[in-house]
Chains A and B, each alone.
Chain A
Amino acid sequence: MDLVNTTTAEAPSPPSPSSVISAVAVSKSWGTNQVFSDVTAEVPPGITGLLGSNGSGKTTLLGMLLALHEPDSGQLRVLGQDPADAGPELRMHIGYAPEHHNLPDDVLAQDLVRHIAMVHGLPRREATTRSSDALWLVGLGEERARPIGTMSTGQRQRVKLAQAIAHGPKLALLDEPTDGLDPVQRDDMLALIRRIGTEFDIHVVLSSHLLEEVERIADNVVILANGKVRAAGPIDQLYQGQGGMTVVLDDGVTDVANTLQRAGYVAEVDRNTIRIGTDEPLEQLANAIRDAVVEHGAPLRRLDASRQSLEDLFLDEVYGS
């Protein structure tokens, strides 16, 4: 598959000024372990899903975005700034919700959220008001004066989200924000993240191993594997070229399939069903099928557009077809 904005580049182009995050030929290793190798990728504004299996470098990437680790080589820019040069200034505008569920048990939710807002540079009064607003937004308005230790996993996840956004960041890094939630809580959390990413001018990077939830709420995706960005860009664009159509005919299956193959399509026949894959927009394929069916007078029973799921895309990119 053609990758979008990704991987090795002999002569890297400069990062786009409109990108929230851009990496040009970035490499990083821990000792002899190469975590990233000559990676080039851009993350546009909106909600971005960061997908990757264990050890794929997600943690290291988050650390680099937070300026906690410097790349060995290459250029990394977050919100238009080089993290290595603008670490503290940059982190002032980034919210971070970690993966772990540990939070200070004996601290009140509102105290923690206000404290983190103040640590991010908000004056005390603003921090107090905004921590309350953030807790109301995530559905913990009535619970804000409760010690975190008395809260459920779902409520703790919401506290983590509230502390990540209370200071009004431009970019929120959410590490596995639905971990430990039941299906209903997960749906609520995803809806909340979608709302945060669309209503409040906050770009969201969502790290997750659940492909389905990334597919549901993200505008963009970055797929990491073996130290490389295997695919990155808007999900819609990644799906383009990953689609196809399924045709079920009562008769003339071979004739129609041969016509489509002569037109350059890969058409697989299975009894009275033809599966056609394409890198082109589906509309173009639909027209070709229509013409072939008309040409042979084949009785058409069914015509479906088949689109790969993000899981197919992920498996395809990471493990090959």
Chain B
Amino acid sequence: MSTAESAEIFDRGYRAYDGPRTGVQSSMRAVFVATVQRALGLRRKFRYKIVPLATILIAYVPALVFLGITALLPSEIAGQVVAEYAGYFELITVMMLLLTAFVVPEVMGSDRKTGLFGLYMASPLSRWSYLGAKFVGVMAVLSLVTTMPSVFQMAGYSLLGIGPDGFVEILKTLFKIVVSGLILSIFFALFGMAASTLTNRHLFASAGIVMTTIATTGFTEAIIENTDSPAWVELFSVFQVPLELIVRVWGSSDEFPGITGVSTIASFGAWAGACVLFAGIILFGYRRMEVTK
């Protein structure tokens, strides 16, 4: 039975705070969590969840189909139908592009449009720690499309007895999947963030991301087909740059030969150069951004 001596007042109302405060890393973690939540439409109305969740689920459909085919059809036929790991990354790149175009402008532009960026800058965060938290948040969301479907695919193949042989092979395959996922995620996260730095308008940024990808891909393909241009011209395609590096990770095959005549160093250089360019746009844009109004 409770007594008067044991009674406590829990609701004391607003009062001064002298308790513990965590550091900048916790501030970054809070921004990271908010970024993931906003990107996926969590704690928001249902309509905000439709596009990100549908895009992510669709990215897993090929893996499910391949696993079904492998389980149901004879291995000779299944082997001709299902995609290799490198090919899977090519299959999901469209989903990747859609997710980038939808999610990144939402999590970057809305902070500036709603004044939240100013509130962040008045906190322990700096522009760079803020951008770091945003980048990791965007990467985490994009990884749901770039990395997890292939992990799911590998797990399924292993259960069906056609996965990597032995623990070491599993680790090797997993490592390649993670590296490939990072290549795609880093590239598209920076690409999306750079586009979102240039405008506060969600629609403009999304359109810019899609149009730049389509335009560079179409333009480079047209040049290659209609002129005697060297093969490295393809490295100017936003689509091709990360995929080409992923082919190098898995090794070229008949199905995915990669661009002949372009070295791995050149492929990496194109990817890294594009990433540096995108990062430069982001850093330059945010360095000049006004925050106290």
Using CB atoms and an 8 Å cutoff, list the residues of chain A in contact with chain B: 59-60, 62-63, 66, 68, 87-89, 91-92, 94-96, 98-100, 102-108, 111, 115-116, 118-123, 126, 130, 133-134, 136-137, 163, 165, 167-168, 173, 175, 200-202
Q: For B293, give its contact among A98, A115, A121, A134 (CB under 8 Å).
A: A98
Contact of A163 with B119 at beta-carbon distance under 8 Å, contacts A122-B17, A134-B14 already known: yes
Using CB atoms and an 8 Å cutoff, list the residues of chain B in contact with chain A: 12-24, 26-27, 30-31, 34, 43-45, 48, 110, 113-116, 118-126, 129, 291-293
Residues of A within 8 Å of B23, CB to CB, are 88, 121
Q: For A119, give its contact among B30, B44, B126, B293 (CB under 8 Å).
A: B30
Check if B124 sits within 8 Å of A120, measured CB to CB.
yes
Check if A126 sits within 8 Å of B110, measured CB to CB.
no
Check if B121 sits within 8 Å of A66, measured CB to CB.
yes
CA–CA, A173 and B24, complex, Å:
21
Check if A68 sits within 8 Å of B121, measured CB to CB.
yes
Check if B18 sits within 8 Å of A121, measured CB to CB.
no
Check if B124 sits within 8 Å of A92, measured CB to CB.
yes
Check if B113 sits within 8 Å of A96, measured CB to CB.
no
Check if B292 sits within 8 Å of A68, measured CB to CB.
yes
Interface residues of A: mostly helix, strand, loop or mixed? mixed
CA–CA, A226 and B131, complex, Å:
35
Most B-side CB within 10 Å, residue of A88, A94, A123, A167: A88
CA–CA, A165 and B292, complex, Å:
18
CB distance from B36 to the nearest CB of A (A): 13
Contact of A123 with B123 at beta-carbon distance under 8 Å, contacts A104-B116, A106-B45, A133-B13 already known: no
CA–CA, A261 and B230, complex, Å:
97
Check if A88 sits within 8 Å of B124, measured CB to CB.
yes
Q: For B125, give its contact among A88, A108, A133 (CB under 8 Å).
A: A88
Lowest 10 CB-CB distances: which A-B pairs, in order? A168-B17, A121-B21, A96-B122, A88-B124, A137-B14, A118-B30, A133-B14, A102-B115, A63-B292, A104-B114
Check if A119 sits within 8 Å of B124, measured CB to CB.
yes
CB distance from A81 to the nearest CB of B (A): 13
Q: For A126, give its contact among B14, B17, B124 (CB under 8 Å).
A: B17
Residues of A within 8 Å of B114, CB to CB, are 102-105
Residues of A within 8 Å of B120, CB to CB, are 119
Residues of B within 8 Å of A120, CB to CB, are 21, 27, 123-124
Q: A115-B30, A123-B20 are in contact. List 9 more A-B contacts (CB 8 A).
A: A62-B292, A63-B292, A68-B291, A91-B124, A102-B115, A104-B114, A108-B43, A119-B31, A122-B22
Residues of B within 8 Å of A137, CB to CB, are 13-14
CB distance from B134 to the nearest CB of A (A): 13
CB distance from B244 to the nearest CB of A (A): 39
Tell me the nearest residue of chain B to A100, going by C-beta: B115
Check if B292 sits within 8 Å of A119, measured CB to CB.
no
Residues of A within 8 Å of B123, CB to CB, are 91-92, 116, 119-120
Tell me the nearest residue of chain B to A138, going by C-beta: B14
Tell me the nearest residue of chain B to A101, going by C-beta: B115
CA–CA, A120 and B124, complex, Å:
6
CA–CA, A137 and B38, complex, Å:
28
Tell me the nearest residue of chain A to B120, going by C-beta: A119
Residues of A within 8 Å of B126, CB to CB, are 87-88
Contact of A111 with B43 at beta-carbon distance under 8 Å, contacts A62-B292, A122-B21, A168-B18 already known: yes
CA–CA, A165 and B122, complex, Å:
13
CA–CA, A175 and B293, complex, Å:
9
Tell me the nearest residue of chain A to B292, going by C-beta: A63
Contact of A200 with B15 at beta-carbon distance under 8 Å, contacts A59-B293, A119-B30 already known: yes
CA–CA, A66 and B21, complex, Å:
18
Tell me the nearest residue of chain B to A130, going by C-beta: B17
Q: For B13, give its contact among A89, A121, A136 (CB under 8 Å).
A: A136
Check if B122 sits within 8 Å of A103, measured CB to CB.
no
Check if A94 sits within 8 Å of B30, measured CB to CB.
no
CB distance from A161 to the nearest CB of B (A): 11
CA–CA, A136 and B22, complex, Å:
25
CA–CA, A134 and B45, complex, Å:
25
Residues of B within 8 Å of A126, CB to CB, are 17, 19
CA–CA, A99 and B114, complex, Å:
12
Check if B119 sits within 8 Å of A98, measured CB to CB.
yes
CB distance from A20 to the nearest CB of B (A): 15
Can you spell out 9 A-B residue pairs with CB atoms less than 8 angstroms apart?
Answer: A66-B121, A66-B122, A68-B292, A91-B124, A98-B122, A100-B115, A121-B27, A130-B17, A136-B13
